[in-house]
Amino acid sequence: MRARGLTVLGGVTFAAVLAALYMALIDAPPERFMGDLQRLMYFHVGSAWAAMLAFFMVFVYGAAYLFTRRSAFDRAALASAEVGVFFTTLVLITGPIWARPVWNAWWTWDPRLTTTLILWFIYVAYLLLRGSIADDARRRVAASIFGIVGFLDVPIVHFSVTWWRSIHPNLISGGTINMDPAMTRALMVNGVAFVLLYALLTWLRTRLEAAREEAAQLRHRVYERIADRPDERERAGRNSESDIS
């Protein structure tokens, strides 16, 4: 049933990605001043929306884990964080590729750019933190708290263009999108495609984490068995000696 669900989601996401590519590269009109380069915005903004959703879900799953202590929530939080870092990386690469010909600079310490870079560092630190605590229960609690606190940067990224003087384009102001309707349509299709992509990647990463946890438990049982039986311990020792020589 789960495998079928994943296949369906994969198919729907693939179709949405094809539609997003068509809308961004062919259907949407070129921008008056930037020409075709502006088409990169559809992928850049789509990735940014998916990243924000991913970090919001880290916050939700973290809170759910702290309340219920169900490991499934922790696995989903980890998956969401990794996928969020992936999408933020795309944002931080496509942004400078767009900025170089438009601003004549790959990077400036603009509030939106700086807060997004900080966001990327926060969730890379989240992933590093998870790798640095061996005890399962402690790691899950620490990661959940970190994920909840780290989410504070997401609204700061969103409002950075209105709170401070910024040269970053502001697409949404006063609840409306300031673009031609054909461009808005292309942006919406890309938004849907990237959200579906987020769901698919998170599902695949959660499934991987569940398999890894099962492998770790089985490995633990194998080690316990080796420790309980002197003959196997001896054989394991001989194997490791021959590996060294």
Q: Which one of 16, 23, 28, 39 is in contact with another protein (CB under 8 A)?
A: 39
At 106, list the tokens. 């790959």
Which stretch of DSSP H or E encloses residue 218?
helix 181-228
How far apart are CB 6 and another protein at their closest, in Å? 11
Q: Which one of 100, 138, 233, 238 is in contact with another protein (CB under 8 A)?
A: 100
Residues in contact with another protein, shown as a per-residue x/- string from 155 to 194 under the rule CB under 8 A: ----------------------------------------
Task: Check binding of 212 to another protein (CB under 8 A).
Answer: yes
How far apart are CB 165 and another protein at their closest, in Å? 26
Q: Say which residues have a Cβ less than 8 Å from residue 145's Cβ, sequence separation at least 6.
A: 62, 66
According to DSSP, the residues that pair with 31 across neighbouring strands are 35
Q: Which one of 11, 22, 67, 97 is in contact with another protein (CB under 8 A)?
A: 97
Q: Which residues of 75-112 are buried (b: 16+ CB within 10 A; e: fewer)?
A: bbbbbbbbbbbbbbebbbebbeebbeeeeeeeeeebbb
Task: Give the whole-angstrom CA distance, residue 235 versus residue 245.
Answer: 15
Residues forming the site for another protein (CB under 8 A): 17, 21, 25, 34-37, 39-40, 43-44, 47, 86, 89-90, 93-94, 97-98, 100-101, 197, 200-201, 204-205, 207-208, 211-212, 214-215, 218-219, 221-222, 225, 229, 232
